[in-house]
Amino acid sequence: MNDNGELGDFLRSRRARLRPEDAGAAFSGGARRVPGLRREEVAHLAGVSTDYYARLEQGRHPHVSETVLEAVARALRLDDTERGYLFELARPRTPGRHRSSPARAPRVRQPIHQMLDVLNDVSPAVVINHRSDVLGANHLARQLITDFDALPHRDRNLARFVLLHPAARDLYQDWDRVAETFVASLRLASGRHPDDRLLNELVGELSIKVPEFSTWWAGHRVDQCAHGTQRLVHPVVGELTLSYETLALPADPDQSIVLYTTEPGSASAETLRLLASWTTPTNTHEAAPSQAPYG
């Protein structure tokens, strides 16, 4: 039986953040040596034996029913993203699940490139995969964030740019928050794709080069980066606040469009309009950007 250390670490991290009053129950048992719920308290809330839950948290229970996982998720007050991550971690790890590299490099379909071009004057937009590799970007996104096409293929990655590129710390006013969210996204991806060689290499590189990374990674926060806001200080046009939405492409597995918008009539909307007008490409139809950051 293979131990599942990631599952155990995740459960312990979620248990540690809860107090008895947070879990909706009062427990006796004297002074607490560590913050958070005890194992026996989680077991009680989930309706399983303490021994069963202890083996689950130790990663020594290879076949866990969905009913038990649902009960544990409720006991630990997991949100939908955390619940999905728990189910991924609890699945038996078999050779070949989530292969590390696709047979062919991912390609962005031409209609998607055309969609990016249509958005060029109003909304920055990028196409990414689960690793945050930038598979495509319109001109406005390249002017707003960075010129991904000018980077080496392996560097065309949003998480890598935010966490490693010196310009990112100046670009994002709340760099710590944005960076930690990308780490949470990579943590989620690692649970869904545990055998992804390129993802594991990226995580390893970030753990060495980014001082804050290890602490964030050890926190076991997971985030889909589905939507949110970012405050930027652009070197050309100055401050602006953008909302982003991540839209899955059902016909293109593992591809999503990240679309950035501003509030209509706001100062940020005017700032983004200025950036678009000042950096409009000379050609009305740009050549499609490089297709994939990794070969």
pLDDT along the chain (295 residues), means of 10: 74 90 63 79 93 88 86 95 93 57 70 94 95 96 96 95 97 98 96 93 97 96 95 97 97 95 97 91 50 44
Please give the span between the terminal C-alpha atoms of the chain, in angstroms, as a whole number. 36
Q: Which residues lie across from 229 on neighbouring strands?
A: 243
pTM: 0.86
Question: In angstroms, rounded to a whole number, what is the distance separating the alpha carbons of residues 62 and 150?
Answer: 46
3-state secondary structure of 43: helix
Distances 241 to 58, 110, 179, 228, 267 between C-alpha atoms, Å:
44, 30, 17, 11, 9
The pLDDT assigned to 286 comes to: 47
- What structural domains and CATH numbers belong to the chain? 5-90 (1.10.260.40), 110-278 (3.30.450.180)
Run of H or E residues at 241: strand 238-248
Question: In angstroms, rounded to a whole number, what is the distance separating the alpha carbons of residues 218 and 201?
Answer: 17
The pLDDT assigned to 5 comes to: 83
The pLDDT assigned to 288 comes to: 46
The pLDDT assigned to 3 comes to: 55
The pLDDT assigned to 138 comes to: 96
- DSSP label at 37? -
Question: In angstroms, rounded to a whole number, what is the distance separating the alpha carbons of residues 71 and 45?
Answer: 8
With a CB cutoff of 8 Å and minimum separation 6, the contacts of 234 are 144, 171, 240, 271, 275
Q: Are 218 and 212 in contact (CB under 8 A)?
A: no
Q: Are 172 and 162 in contact (CB under 8 A)?
A: yes
The pLDDT assigned to 186 comes to: 97
Question: In angstroms, rounded to a whole number, what is the distance separating the alpha carbons of residues 139 and 146?
Answer: 10
With a CB cutoff of 8 Å and minimum separation 6, the contacts of 65 are none
